[in-house]
Amino acid sequence: MSVEVVIKDGAQTTGEGPHWEDSTRTLLYVDILNGGVIRWNAVTGQKEDKHFDEPVSLVVPCRKGGYIIGLGRKLAHFDWDSGKVTTLHEVPPKGSNDRFNDGKCDPRGRLWAGTMGHETVPANPEREKGVLFCLGLDGQLVSCVDKIDISNGLAWTEDNRTMYYIDSLPRKVYGFDYDIETGNISNQRTVVDFGEGTLGRLGYPDGMAIDTEGKIWVACYSVGKVVRFDPQTGKELRTIEFPALRTTSCCFGGKNLDELYVTCGREGASEEELEKYPLSGSVFKVTGLGVKGYPATIYEG
């Protein structure tokens, strides 16, 4: 197993929302508070970015072309070449400065994306201001879970019967029964509880990816780790460490979907932290894990 830097200083604030586009071997991700959307071609090494005046929290390709981005409290369609941004939905404020955070498409191509309250310091937002939404294939936005602190990672099991979802401050990964035909969720339970007394070792659960063995890889914000958990037992299986503390998310990529791309942030880091972890904000690639992920799904609506 090895960890290497693939995009040094890939984000100035919080690098997030990695999405591997298989057809072009491109990694998409965002630099949230910098309003940046980045695409990096893994074959040529070419990096392109676009900037917005509001925080950008997620980027997902659309079947009809372009991307869906989370822009402040909006979900918008973005055409890279023309730069045209079309607002699809703007969700009502629950506090001041709440915004979208992580989002991902389910196996049918619905986009699930959640919000969070205003934060002046990372991992310390106004509590319970977040909502998890689902953007259906018909373009309608439905509010699905309320009173979330920091809406974060999402993943679906291979049989499409379970959705995993992270709220970072309760430090839990939830499981829901999932109806792939309707996108309905039910029967919320906790599948991984980071638990009391583990903040210093495990930090805050953030983004996640699922492998083809049904195990989840959770980025642990503030401790520089991605931990593989068994959602059946809630137990830790394996830990990968990074030379940057604010690990935010991960996705499988590469030709065989057996590489793990990991984003992290610099936002909120002290001079001392940046001196000790100069690679904060970079994008890392882990190879030789011996597991694979699924191709990322895109918005099909």
Q: Say whether residue 280 binds ligand BGC (CB under 6 A).
A: no
Q: State the binding partner of 254 from ligand BGC, Ca ion, none, CB within 5 to 8 A by kind.
A: none
Nearest approach in angstroms of CB 248 to Ca ion is 5
For the purposes of burial, counting CB atoms within 10 Å of the CB of 140, is it exposed (0-12), middle (13-18) or buried (19 or more)? exposed
Among 103, 122, 130, 293, binds ligand BGC (CB under 6 A): 122
Among 119, 149, 167, 259, binds ligand BGC (CB under 6 A): 119
Nearest approach in angstroms of CB 33 to ligand BGC is 8
Q: Of residues 149, 206, 211, 258, which has the active-site annotation? A: 206
Q: Say whether residue 221 binds ligand BGC (CB under 6 A).
A: yes
CA dihedral 157, 221, 14, 105 (to 10 degrees): 10
Q: Which of 282, 260, 259 is nearest to 269 (CA)?
A: 282
Q: State the binding partner of 14 from ligand BGC, Ca ion, none, CB within 5 to 8 A by kind.
A: ligand BGC
Q: Say whether residue 207 binds Ca ion (CB under 5 A).
A: yes
Q: Say whether residue 125 binds Ca ion (CB under 5 A).
A: no
Among 11, 14, 58, 67, binds ligand BGC (CB under 6 A): 14
By beta-carbon proximity to Ca ion, the closer residue of 120 and 187 is 120
Plot region of 189 (φ>0 → left; ψ -120 to 50 → alpha; else → beta) = beta
Q: Say whether residue 35 binds ligand BGC (CB under 6 A).
A: no
The answer to whether residues 51 and 32 touch, using CB atoms and an 8 Å cutoff, is no
Mark whether 31 is an active-site residue. no
Q: Which residues contact 207 (CB under 8 A, 6 or more apart)?
A: 16, 17, 18, 102, 152, 153, 166, 218, 219, 248, 249, 250, 251, 263
Binding span for ligand BGC by CB under 6 A among 66-74, 118-126, 139-147, 172-180: 118-126
In the sheet where 259-264 sits, what is the strand order?
2-7, 283-287, 259-264, 247-253
Q: Which of 133, 124, 146, 130 is nearest to 93 (CA)?
A: 130
Binding residues for ligand BGC, rule: CB under 6 A, are 14, 16, 32, 101-102, 119, 122-123, 150, 152, 168, 204, 206, 221, 248
